[in-house]
């Protein structure tokens, strides 16, 4: 009855669009987290999700076809059919202490470090997961973390308004203690880092 694809677009083997219950058919299709947008018929056999903005990064999306969904030949789902896909994962770049060529770069003993993320991050998870490791003593130092202020006067491209996930976010890191001179440190990110959009979705639903 249904052929699935790893995105919020799928097609039926037989038409459904000309059904008198077209709206009821669409109501039997759900997406989680509940993204802003709607499912609509793209062709008599194809249904797609028309989003109001680009899909958020670092998100696991589930599409559900509910039991009872049928086409014009009365091929009917006897139980829910669901599948999931993941959008682009969190990526941290321009991490401090390393040049673009991969060489070690000295830092101050009271540094204000910066890095770039491809998504807006949950600050609390960032504080928990990001540590500065003293290679000699194998001890870790926590950071005070802040998102750099946006330039409100900067021109925003139309595509960036539709897809704010295409922009990068710059964060400042301040170690909570003075560093030791002539010592090698490394920045380490543990698992559990969350995007702010994903956290907000979880809190709102």
User: Could you tell me the sign of the dihedral formed by the alpha carbons of 66, 71, 74, 75, in that order?
Assistant: negative
Q: Residue 125: in which H helix or E strand, if any?
A: helix 123-129
Q: φ, ψ for residue 125 (rounded to 5)?
A: -70, -30
Place of tokens 């090698």: 184
Question: How far apart (Å, rounded) are the C-alpha atoms in residues 47 and 16?
Answer: 9
Check if the beta carbon of residue 171 is closer than 8 Å to that of residue 126. Answer: yes
Place of tokens 């959009």: 197
Give the pLDDT of the chain (205 residues) as one tens digit per residue. 444 444 577 777 666 666 667 888 889 999 998 888 999 888 888 888 988 888 888 888 999 999 988 877 788 889 999 999 888 899 988 877 766 666 677 889 999 999 999 989 999 999 999 899 998 877 899 999 999 976 544 445 555 554 555 678 999 999 999 999 988 888 888 888 888 765 455 444 4
The upper half-sphere exposure of residue 25, i.e. CA atoms within 13 Å in the direction of its Cβ, equals 23
Q: Report angle CA 134, 137, 138 to the nearest 5 degrees.
A: 65
Q: How many CB atoms lie within 10 A of CB 138?
A: 7
- Residue 3 has a pLDDT of 43
Q: Which residues contact 67 (CB under 8 A, 6 or more apart)?
A: 77, 78, 79, 80
User: Could you tell me the sign of the dihedral formed by the alpha carbons of 5, 8, 9, 12, in that order?
Assistant: positive
Domains assigned to the chain: 2-86 (2.60.40.3710), 92-204 (2.60.40)
């Amino acid at each position: 009855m249904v052929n699935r694809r790893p995105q919020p677009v799928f097609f039926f083997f037989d038409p459904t669009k000309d059904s008198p219950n077209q709206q009821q058919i669409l109501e039997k299709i759900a997406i989680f987290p509940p993204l802003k947008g709607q499912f609509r018929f793209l062709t008599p056999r194809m249904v797609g999700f028309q989003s109001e903005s680009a899909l958020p990064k670092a998100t696991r999306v589930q599409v559900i076809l509910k039991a009872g969904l049928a086409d014009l030949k009365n091929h009917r789902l006897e139980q829910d059919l669901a599948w999931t896909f993941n959008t682009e994962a969190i990526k941290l770049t321009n991490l401090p202490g390393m040049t673009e060529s991969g060489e070690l770069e000295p830092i101050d003993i009271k540094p204000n470090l910066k890095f770039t993320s491809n998504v807006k991050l949950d600050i609390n998870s960032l504080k928990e997961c990001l540590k500065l490791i003293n290679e000699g003593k194998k001890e870790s130092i926590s950071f005070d973390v802040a998102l750099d202020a946006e330039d409100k006067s900067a021109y925003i491209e139309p595509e960036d308004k539709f897809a704010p996930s295409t922009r990068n976010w710059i964060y400042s890191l301040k170690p909570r203690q003075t560093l030791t001179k002539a010592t090698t440190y490394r920045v380490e990110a543990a698992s559990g880092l969350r995007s702010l959009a994903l956290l907000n979705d979880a809190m709102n639903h």
